Amino acid sequence: MSSLFRSEEMCLVQLFFQTESAHNCISELGHLGLVQFKDLNPGVAAFQRRFVKEVKKCEEMERILRYLEKEMVKSNIVIAATKEKEMVPCARDVLELESTFEKLEQELREINRNHAALRQNLIELMDIDSLFIAGVIKQERFPAFEKVLWRLFHGNFVLRHTEMQATEELQARGAVKKDVFIIFVQGDHVREKIRKVCEGFRASLYSCPKTLYERKQMSNSVMTQMEDLRMILRRTEEYRAGVLTRAAEHVQEWGSKVKKMKAIYYTLNLCNIDITQKLIVAEIWCPVSDLTLVQSALIKGSEQSGSSVTPVLNRIQTQQTPPTFNRTNTFTEGFQAIIDAYGVGTYLEINPAPYTIVTFPFLFAVMFGDCGHGLVMTLFAVWVISQAESLRKWKNELTDVVIGGRYIILLMGMFSIYTGLIYNDCFSKSFNIFGSSWCVRPMFHPHGPWQYVFNFFFLINVHTAPHISVWNIASNKLSFLNSFKMKMSVILGVSHMLFGVALSLVNFVHFRKFQDIFLQFVPQLIFMLSLFGYLIFLILYKWCITLRSETAPSILLLFINMMLFDYQSEHVLLYRGQVWIHIFLVLTAVLMVPVLLLVKPFLIYRTRMKTRHQVGEQNHFICFLLQVSMGDIFVYQAIHTIEFCLGCISNTTSYLRLWALSLAHAELSEVLWRMVLQVGLKISSGMGSLMLVVLFAAFAVLTVTVLLIMEGLSAFLHALRLHWVEFQNKFYEGSGYKFTPLSFDSLLKTQQ
């Protein structure tokens, strides 16, 4: 659980193992997937590393496997799935595997060459069989061929041609269209010239027997040769299919083995080898809690190799910043990806992911609140979760994104159902589950708006019909929801930011920055509570008291007058003594600004001056560095203070997007209902049923494309921005680098 709320504690470990056991030890660490190797040869080029030849051999084997897979796909041969856990071949088995690949490639290429040659011979014989005359030329070249002949011989020849009818076999193979032609001329000299023209246009020329008997004899000979070639081609294709089928049973297994071997040799290139070539030294980052598992894996690898020396682990102290490692599962990895897309957390910094699991879908649902749309989204997410394995086979970028975020979509849909029930919206229609407290009887009071009741007599029906919601016909529905959702957005936004400021306290306590608690956290909290916390109080207080709408003061004007110290019109105040409270809160907030701006830099300056006196005036270089760094500290603190103070205002207004998108989604839903489906429901003619089906289909398509996909994507991006900018910048630095262990599972998953 600690790694869920904060990144894992990491340690730098030095490994010593024998050269003969290195392959098995690294293989076991790859299966474990909890170790990141450091590069101990940063100054050595890739082609100068010790195991570069082995890496190139693995790349060559990968090329052969890609060639085999391409041939299998071309022949419609199903590739068998890989086994769950295949052993990584040892170093002496690599040569055998490489030899198997080379023989298989050579055999397959030889089969393809022979097959192509036999096929070409068959095509030529089929041309002869269709011809019994002079030659064959590609159809696209014949017009130019004919024009050249006419220009050379001025019509002193007879040319006949026709399109050659391709057989079904040739059509299936995508044969090029050709024309059969015969030319009658006089004289050997002219015949030789025509022959050269034919060769220039790459026309195939054939001998044409003069007598009928010779032509029939030639036809029979050609037919016999064609039958022999067809049989040989059929046998060749069967043999080729057999070779590929046998290889298809192992190609996935071979591919995973080669990838693992390549990863092992790449990792060995990161290590150092001593002068005796018998000992390998490596440095790794690994979680402190998993050191026992790492040692067990090394011992297992050493035993598999038959080594008599057990690998040695030596935990070393370092000033280097460790990588950030947050453990995830199938449910949390999507939310962690959202956080990492903004920036990988600083080492041991608090992780926003567990809080994002709740706040992200909730803020999305505030903008997307409709229980009908939320139900459709939830059902879609449930379907994706149940079909995740089959959808992964599509190997499509869009499906990968949907599968990776399936649990995010599920929670967004469920939260949208919740907020939709609160908004009382289901495809823009309202429920009346608990009945209505509205009553028409007070409107008949002598001083009440009784004439309004007579003008709109159906109000009585609304009151007596329990299934109808009175808000559907309320004249102030939009204005009330507009005010309510705007104030709700401010309350949620300020609460969300205050929660982010509170999380910064957890970071300060963990890193023992107690000075920052009093010089940064407390002033920031007081500043926000004095202004925006009080704004929430005004909203809630106004909701709780009874005021006439004509005389009720505006919260916005109250807040503006509070900041401008404008209190001339006291009749717009909410309670007694409000003026003095306003003055006190504004002054308190203003006083926090110099505290944030100056106190921390001056304390650091005093500490630096003490260090300077201790070092002495003789070390002018250190004194200069102290002065320069102090200037940077003052500038940094000024930027940070201005960003926080102005950001509180801009971030609060940024949360108003919750109000804007919520209203936009509700209004678009109502427009679709009124302009599309309601029109079909009102049709009473004979074609009404057919029109209703057509309009319902249009309503469904528009609902999915516009409201679910476009509006859903818009609400997703806005919720993403609120978390990245407004929430996380209160406590999250995101300046770390990700823990990338040697993991065979991740390697095979990313390269599928």
pLDDT at 131: 40
Q: In terms of domains, do 364 and 230 share one?
A: no
Q: In terms of domains, do 341 and 469 share one?
A: yes
pLDDT at 434: 72
Centroid of chain to Cα 77: 31
Dist. CA 7–CA 507, nearest whole Å: 12
Dist. CA 700–CA 62, nearest whole Å: 48
Q: In terms of domains, do 338 and 215 share one?
A: no
Dist. CA 198–CA 137, nearest whole Å: 8
Mapping DSSP to helix (H, G, I), strand (E, B) and coil, where does residue 434 land?
coil
Task: Single out the residue in 236, 255, 282 at which a domain terminates.
Answer: 236
User: At which residue do the structure tokens 């040659």 appear?
Assistant: 117
Q: In this structure, what token pair is assigned to residue 552?
A: 């009720």
Q: In terms of domains, do 592 and 714 share one?
A: yes
Closest listed residue to residue 532, CA positions, set 569, 499, 510: 499
- Any domain includes 64: no
Closest listed residue to residue 130, CA positions, set 206, 213, 228, 233: 206
User: At which residue do the structure tokens 């005021």 appear?
Assistant: 547
- Any domain includes 217: yes
pLDDT at 633: 80
- Any domain includes 747: no
Count of residues in the chain: 752
Closest listed residue to residue 11, CA positions, set 345, 314, 344, 351: 314
Counting as low any pLDDT under 70, the low residues of the chain are 1-3, 82-92, 124-131, 133-134, 155, 165-175, 186-188, 207-215, 435-474, 569-572, 611-630, 686, 750-752
Q: Is 350:5 a contact under the CB 8 Å cutoff?
A: yes
| Per-residue b or e along 14-51, where b marks 16 or more CB atoms closer than 10 Å to that residue's CB | ebebbbbbbbbbbbbbbbbebbbbeeeeeeeeeeebbb
Instruction: Compute the Cα dihedral for 538, 539, 543, 544 and give only its sign.
Output: negative
Dist. CA 214–CA 212, nearest whole Å: 6
Centroid of chain to Cα 254: 29
Question: 416 vs 97, 270, 363, 373, 410, CA distance in Å?
Answer: 55, 50, 9, 8, 10
Closest listed residue to residue 268, CA positions, set 460, 58, 108: 58
- Any domain includes 685: yes
Q: In terms of domains, do 425 and 563 share one?
A: yes
Dist. CA 712–CA 380, nearest whole Å: 13
Q: In this structure, what token pair is assigned to residue 622?
A: 């250190």
| Per-residue b or e along 310-337, where b marks 16 or more CB atoms closer than 10 Å to that residue's CB | ebebeeeeeeeebbbbbbbeeebbbbbe
Task: Single out the residue in 179, 201, 236 at which a domain terminates.
Answer: 236
Question: pTM score > 0.75 for this model?
Answer: yes
pLDDT in tens, 567-585: 776 556 788 888 899 999 9
- 113-117's contacts with Cβ under 8 Å and 24+ in sequence apart are 114/236, 115/233, 115/236, 115/237, 115/240
The residues near 309 (Cβ < 8 Å, ≥ 6 apart) are 17, 18, 21, 302
pLDDT at 130: 43
Q: In terms of domains, do 231 and 347 share one?
A: no
Q: In terms of domains, do 513 and 657 share one?
A: yes
- Any domain includes 537: yes
Instruction: Spell out the alpha helix ranges (H) of 155-211.
Output: 168-172, 188-200
Instruction: Compute the Cα dihedral for 583, 586, 588, 594 and give only its sign.
Output: negative
* Ordered DSSP codes for 56-114: HHHHHHHHHHHHHHHHHHHTTPPPPPPPSSPPPP-HHHHHHHHHHHHHHHHHHHHHHHH
- Any domain includes 34: no
pLDDT at 351: 93
Q: Is 323:736 a contact under the CB 8 Å cutoff?
A: yes
Dist. CA 463–CA 438, nearest whole Å: 8
Closest listed residue to residue 146, CA positions, set 189, 194, 186, 206: 194
User: At which residue do the structure tokens 């006949």 appear?
Assistant: 160
Specify burial of residue 363 (Cβ count, 10 A radius: 0-12, 13-18, 19+). Answer: buried
Closest listed residue to residue 11, CA positions, set 321, 352, 253, 385: 321
Question: 182 vs 96, 212, 314, 515, CA distance in Å?
Answer: 59, 16, 88, 101
Dist. CA 671–CA 668, nearest whole Å: 5
Beta carbons within 10 angstroms of residue 527's beta carbon: 24
User: Per DSSP, what are the bridge partners of residue 10?
Assistant: 287
User: Amino acid identity of 561?
Assistant: N
Q: Is 99:92 a contact under the CB 8 Å cutoff?
A: no
Beta carbons within 10 angstroms of residue 139's beta carbon: 14
Q: In terms of domains, do 344 and 200 share one?
A: no
pLDDT at 35: 94
Domain count along the chain: 2
Dist. CA 704–CA 717, nearest whole Å: 18
pLDDT at 615: 59
Q: What is the H or E stretch that residue 13 is in?
A: strand 10-18
Centroid of chain to Cα 143: 55
pLDDT at 545: 85
Centroid of chain to Cα 57: 33
- Any domain includes 696: yes
pLDDT at 111: 87
Q: What is the H or E stretch that residue 204 is in?
A: strand 204-205
Q: In this structure, what token pair is assigned to residue 523?
A: 């002033």
Specify burial of residue 424 (Cβ count, 10 A radius: 0-12, 13-18, 19+). Answer: middle
Q: What domain range includes position 131?
A: 120-236
Instruction: Compute the Cα dihedral for 564, 568, 572, 577 and give only its sign.
Output: positive
pLDDT at 209: 66
pLDDT at 79: 81
Q: In this structure, what token pair is assigned to residue 302?
A: 């050493």
Q: In terms of domains, do 231 and 343 share one?
A: no
Task: Single out the residue in 187, 209, 236 at which a domain terminates.
Answer: 236
Q: Is 209:215 a contact under the CB 8 Å cutoff?
A: yes
Q: In terms of domains, do 367 and 497 share one?
A: yes
Q: Is 333:11 a contact under the CB 8 Å cutoff?
A: no
Domain of 191, CATH number, reads 3.30.70.2750
- Any domain includes 80: no
pLDDT at 371: 93
